[in-house]
Amino acid sequence: MPPDKFPKRNYAPRPRRGPPDQQLPPRPARGEGRPPRERRGDPGDHGDRTDRREGRPLRETEFHPPAEVPCEVPPEPAAETAWEPQAGWYDQRQGERGDDFHSQLVLPAVARQLQARPGQRVLDVCCGQGVLGRFLAEAGMEVVGVDASPSLIEAARARAGHRERYVVGDARTLDAVLPGQRFDHAAVVLALQDLDPIEPVFAGLRALVKPGGRIVMVMTHPCFRIPKRTSWGFDEEQGVQYRRLEAYMSPMALPIRTHPGQVNDSSSTTSFHRPLHHYLTALGTAGLAVVGCEELCSTRRGTQGIRSSAEDRAAKEFPVFMVITATRLWRRTSLRE
Ligand SMILES: C[S@@+](CC[C@H](N)C(=O)[O-])C[C@H]1O[C@@H](n2cnc3c(N)ncnc32)[C@H](O)[C@@H]1O
């Protein structure tokens, strides 16, 4: 392109129109003589706005309000779907780094999709005992986790480092649980199917995450892993392991036994099945646009018997988890428009 193709713009302020006596006084330069701008959802104490290491004022994009979260842990769960009765079992099962699904599939996928940088604030919705929070905090992120189970929050706090805060709250009222808080990014890991309805969860995420922030959601695959409606089958004639699917389009609330191996334990949670379009429509309606998607296949391998290669092939064909990444749009829109 020839260098003179675009004439250079004159950035000097233009003289205002009208007779001289009606001219307005010149506008103050940026930041001069104007009252500080009230940040949306962040009234009151704005914290220290100086970079302590470099001694310079922070730019708006660098400033994070203090991560004050309620300290008290109420005795009662914040929602009836809280994993309070399962808390001891779940904490033991996840331990410090999560089970093999977490460590091999879920956490690496969240890191890839979140694209968070050290120092950024990440909201972990339905954080459980903090497996994701610990993982992100080790990478330098500041994490606030919310979960409805007081015992899981206690477990998360017991293992937490200085970059992690955990609070009891209902994911469907995030704005009220963390009033005035703002986050660079957010994650909801293996929990959307524990929540009903999901529309208020997405509305809360939209309110708390900054425009352009990424919201990563991991769920058991809503097409191939529907509790009690999908299962493995084996076609002896073809030597093929297949996935049997009995229902998909109908939303369902399905009771799940959480530790089925144990005799005399009837502990269960509810899994809410919804077809994929329900999630995508709810995201769009909340003003969240999908910008990424991954489908994760199990790395677990089955038996050593004659069916093992058919099982391995099937494991590589039918994903266990779906990861959807959305970003906050500047303006709310609706897919129904
Ligand atoms: C399968 S666990 C996943 C926990 C964690 N994200 C992880 O990956 O280990 C589902 C979590 O959702 C939480 N939960 C269920 N309903 C909730 C609600 N309405 N608000 C907040 N948390 C909720 C449960 O207490 C439980 O910790």
Q: Give the chain's mean pLDDT.
A: 83
pLDDT of residue 43: 31
**Confidence band of 85 (pLDDT split at 50, 70, 90):** very high
Cβ contact 190:256 at 8 Å: no
Domains of the chain with bracketed CATH: 87-222+274-303+320-328 (3.40.50.150)
Question: From CA 314, how far away is CA 330, in angstroms rounded?
Answer: 41
Which amino acid is present at 178?
Answer: L
- Higher-pLDDT residue of 216 and 36 is 216
Q: Whose CA is nearest to atom 7 of ligand 1?
A: 128
Q: What is the pLDDT of residues 117-131, one digit of tens each?
A: 999 999 999 999 999
Q: What is the pLDDT of residues 233-279, one digit of tens each?
A: 999 999 999 999 999 999 999 998 877 666 555 688 999 999 999 99
Ligand 1 atom with the shortest distance to the CA of 170: 20
User: How is residue 108 written in tokens?
Assistant: 């690496």
Which whole number is the average pLDDT over 207-212? 95
Rg (CA), the chain: 25
What is residue 54's predicted lDDT score, i.e. its pLDDT?
A: 53
pLDDT over threshold 50, residue 13: no
From the alpha carbon of 81, which atom of ligand 1 is closest?
16
Q: Give the whole-angstrom CA distance, residue 30 versus residue 28.
A: 6
CB atoms within 10 A of CB 74: 11
**Which residue of 132, 194, 201 sits with most ligand 1 atoms within 8 Å of its CB, as the best mutation to test the pocket?**
194
Q: What is the pLDDT of residue 159?
A: 96
Check: CB of residue 234 under 8 Å from CB of residue 241.
yes
Query: What per-residue confidence (pLDDT) applies to 53?
Result: 44
Distance of CA 266 to the CA centre of its chain: 30
Residues 6+ apart with CB under 8 A from 106: 98, 189, 190, 218, 296, 321
297 Cα to the center of ligand 1, angstroms? 22
Q: Whose CA is nearest to atom 4 of ligand 1?
A: 128
Task: Say yes or no to pLDDT of 16 above 50.
Answer: no
Ligand 1 site-directed mutation target among 105, 122, 147, 177, most atoms within 8 Å of CB? 147
Nearest CA to ligand 1 atom 9: 128
Which residues contact ligand 1 via a Cβ below 6 A? 78-79, 81-83, 94, 126-128, 131-132, 147-149, 152, 170-172, 189-191, 194-195
Atom of ligand 1 nearest to the CA of 79: 19
Contact present, 90 and 45 (Cβ < 8 Å): no
Q: Between 50 and 168, name the one with better pLDDT.
A: 168
How remote is the CA of residue 225 from the centroid of ligand 1, in Å? Answer: 18
Ligand 1 nearest atom to the CA of residue 102, by list position:
8
- Work out which ligand 1 atom sits closest to the CA atom of 171: 20
Q: Residue 230's beta-bridge partner residues?
A: 245
> Over the stretch 44-83, which tens digit does the pLDDT of each residue have?
233 344 444 455 555 544 445 445 777 888 989 999 999 9
Per-residue model confidence (pLDDT) at position 328: 87
- Say if residue 146's pLDDT is above 90: yes
The pLDDT of residue 229 is 95
Which contiguous run of DSSP H or E holds residue 308?
Answer: helix 308-317
Mean pLDDT of 147-164: 97
pLDDT above 60: residue 9:
no
Strands 185-189 and 121-125: parallel
| pLDDT value of residue 308 | 84
Whole-model pTM: value is 0.80
Does residue 4 register a pLDDT over 90? no
What CA–CA distances, in Å, run from 266 to 253, 258, 261, 269? 17, 8, 11, 10
